[in-house]
Structure 1
């Protein structure tokens, strides 16, 4: 989890985000997208890649579940989706997705960050968890999903 961050200016007047990490993160696998009737909301199922193999179920909107399911299956839309367009833009700008990090949960809402590496350096931007997953899974080599230990401990 990002406890502190600050923005400084470099010689080219571009902001550089400096991050101090104080949280332990666990690698998670996106194992499935489930939609069980009569429940109106699908769930994204994440599981710890090693260690205790703890799982995390995230209730999402139907459109978000579809986007993540398509990414898991390696399928693309006939016309680019917003996530596919964003991934193409990042690739065109030579920006790599390092990881998507789940940093906290408050009142049932998961907060995430997209960790990017550009030619100018590292950039961390806040994002919805579902958008981060859809983008991370669409990379040529899928970017890792990391979950803060504190988030997992809240569930176990």
Structure 2
């Protein structure tokens, strides 16, 4: 990957106070639906051992969009995140990383890091939008999670 280091300390509103925070690379492995719940769960898995998993509830439309992107299933017309990805491409904007930076009152805080000739920018986003966009980009966009966030979401101790 070229461009800024996605594991560098984030600069957005969700940045932790400690820039030496440990970041873990994760990937979306599946979208689960457990009835009678109306909310799908996006399952993230840490790429390296101990390969902790975290389940993040998302809205039904967002879960559907992520499932389509994960399965690389074509749609008759572009879904919203594909449209946004295409617009970014046409304007020369690269998506460098999706970061999960905090958990506030049970909600996961995320940010999207972009770069272009205009510079590097960090924009707050919902985790579901970050995942749906990251899965549609080529090359794939890394999803990085603050270690303490992954620990909290997975319910396990860091390795």
Q: TM-score, normalised by structure 2?
A: 0.82
> What corresponds to 1:92 in structure 2?
90
> Where does the alignment leave 5 or more consecutive residues of structure 2 unmatched?
1-8
In the alignment, structure 1 residue 40 sits paired with structure 2 residue 41: no
Question: In the alignment, which of 108, 111, 127 is matched to residue 129 of structure 1?
Answer: 127
Take 2:57 and 2:12, find their aligned partners in 1: how far apart are those partners?
29
RMSD: 1.8
More strand by share: 1
> What corresponds to 2:66 in structure 1?
68
SS in 1 for 2:113: strand
Aligned length: 142
> What corresponds to 1:101 in structure 2?
99
Tell me which of the two structures has the higher relative contact order, counting C-alpha pairs closer than 8 angstroms and 6 or more residues apart: 2
Take 2:93 and 2:40, find their aligned partners in 1: how far apart are those partners?
31
Q: Point out the structure with max Rg over C-alpha.
A: 1
> Where does the alignment leave 5 or more consecutive residues of structure 1 unmatched?
7-19
